[in-house]
């Protein structure tokens, strides 16, 4: 009985070890500077005819694009969803901007 309990304990520990996230798997994400997405951002701007009013706005959009692109890569790596995600014309928007664009939210003026 003790041997069986010990074997079950070892199997449980082994399963836990297999499911544990490898801390080294996070290193590529941390080492993905914005500069790695600069080429993809250039292609994105070309494909979707994007232009920005100032260099500051372009840097901001590059950072947002890079973050969104990294989320996409993380999603693809997980590989468990029944759908796919790809870069589209909205890839340079913050979530709040995306929601405003998609939902067309217009607050009610309650001051009247």
**CA 29/CA 37 separation, integer angstroms:** 12
Name which of 76, 85, 87 is nearest 45 in CA terms.
87
The answer to which of 35-39, 40-44, 86-90 has the lowest mean pLDDT is 35-39
Name which of 59, 57, 81 is nearest 71 in CA terms.
81
Instruction: Show the DSSP H helices in the chain as ranges.
Output: 2-19, 27-30, 38-47, 55-78, 95-103
For domain 34-105, give the fold.
Answer: Helix Hairpins (1.10.287)
Name which of 31, 41, 50, 45 is nearest 68 in CA terms.
41
Q: Confidence class of residue 91 from pLDDT cuts 50, 70 and 90?
A: very high
pTM above 0.85, yes or no: no
The answer to which of 4-8, 67-71, 85-89 has the lowest mean pLDDT is 4-8
Domain boundaries of the chain, sorted by first residue: 34-105
**CA 60/CA 64 separation, integer angstroms:** 6
């Amino acid at each position: 009985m003790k041997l069986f309990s010990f074997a079950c304990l070892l199997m449980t520990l082994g399963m836990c070890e297999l499911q544990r996230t490898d801390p080294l798997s996070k290193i590529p994400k941390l080492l993905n500077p914005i500069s790695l997405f600069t080429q993809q951002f250039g292609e994105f701007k070309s494909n979707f005819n994007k232009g920005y009013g100032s260099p500051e706005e372009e840097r901001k959009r590059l950072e947002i694009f890079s973050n969104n692109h990294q989320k996409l890569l993380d999603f693809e790596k997980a590989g468990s969803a029944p759908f796919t995600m790809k870069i589209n014309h909205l890839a340079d928007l913050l979530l709040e901007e995306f929601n405003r664009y998609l939902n067309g939210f217009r607050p009610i003026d309650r001051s009247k």
